[in-house]
Amino acid sequence: MQSYATLSLLSYVALVHAVPSRTLSRRATSSSCTFTSTESLAAGKDSCTDIVLDGITVTAGETLDLTGLNDGTSVTFQGTTTFGYEEWEGPLVSVSGVGIAVAGADGHVIDGDGARWWDGEGSNGGKTKPKFFAAHKLNASTITGLNVKNTPVQGFSINQAYGLTLRDITIDNSDGDAGGGHNTDAFDVGSSDGVRILGADVRNQDDCLAVNSGTNIEFSGGSCSGGHGLSIGSVGGRADNDVSNVLISRSSIHDSQNGVRVKTVYGATGSVTNVTYSDVALSNITKYGVVVEQDYENGSPTGTPTTGVSITALTLSNVTGTVADGATEVYILCGSGSCSGWTWSDVSVTGGKVSSECSNIPSGASC
Ligand X SMILES: *[C@@H]1O[C@H](CO)[C@@H](O)[C@H](O)[C@H]1NC(C)=O
Q: Please identify every residue annotated as catalytic.
A: 206, 228
Rounded Cα–Cα distance for residues 264 and 49 (Å): 42
Compute, in degrees rounded to 10, the torsion defined by CA atoms 23, 27, 31, 32. Answer: 80
Choice from 36, 50, 80, 162 touching ligand X (CB under 6 A):
162
Tally of CA atoms within 13 A in the half-sphere of 293 that contains its CB: 20
Q: How far is the CB of 122 from ligand X (least distance, A)?
A: 16
Q: How far is the CB of 89 from ligand X (least distance, A)?
A: 24
Number of residues in contact with ligand X under rule CB under 6 A: 16
- If binding is defined by CB under 6 A, does position 284 make contact with ligand X? yes
Stretch binding ligand X (CB under 6 A), from 50-58, 107-115, 147-155, 275-283: 275-283
- If binding is defined by CB under 6 A, does position 245 make contact with ligand X? yes
Q: E strands along 145-299, which residues?
A: 147-149, 156-159, 162-167, 170-172, 187-190, 193-198, 201-203, 209-211, 214-220, 223-225, 230-235, 242-265, 270-297
End-to-end CA distance of the chain: 77
Residues contacting residue 250 through CB under 8 Å, at least 6 positions apart: 220, 221, 278, 279, 280
Q: State phi, psi for 273 to the nearest 5 degrees.
A: -140, 145
- If binding is defined by CB under 6 A, does position 286 make contact with ligand X? yes
CB closer to ligand X out of 92 and 319: 319
Residue 27: CB atoms within 10 A of its CB come to: 11
Contacts to ligand X from residues 251-270, by CB under 6 A:
255-256
- If binding is defined by CB under 6 A, does position 276 make contact with ligand X? yes
Contacts to ligand X from residues 7-66, by CB under 6 A:
none
Contacts to ligand X from residues 108-137, by CB under 6 A:
none
Give the x/- contact pattern for ligand X in 305-324, rule: CB under 6 A: -------------x-----x
Q: How far is the CB of 152 from ligand X (least distance, A)?
A: 21
- If binding is defined by CB under 6 A, does position 144 make contact with ligand X? no
- If binding is defined by CB under 6 A, does position 360 make contact with ligand X? no
Rounded Cα–Cα distance for residues 76 and 142 (Å): 12
What residue ranges bind ligand X (CB under 6 A)? Answer: 98, 139, 162, 245, 247, 255-256, 274, 276, 279-281, 284, 286, 318, 324
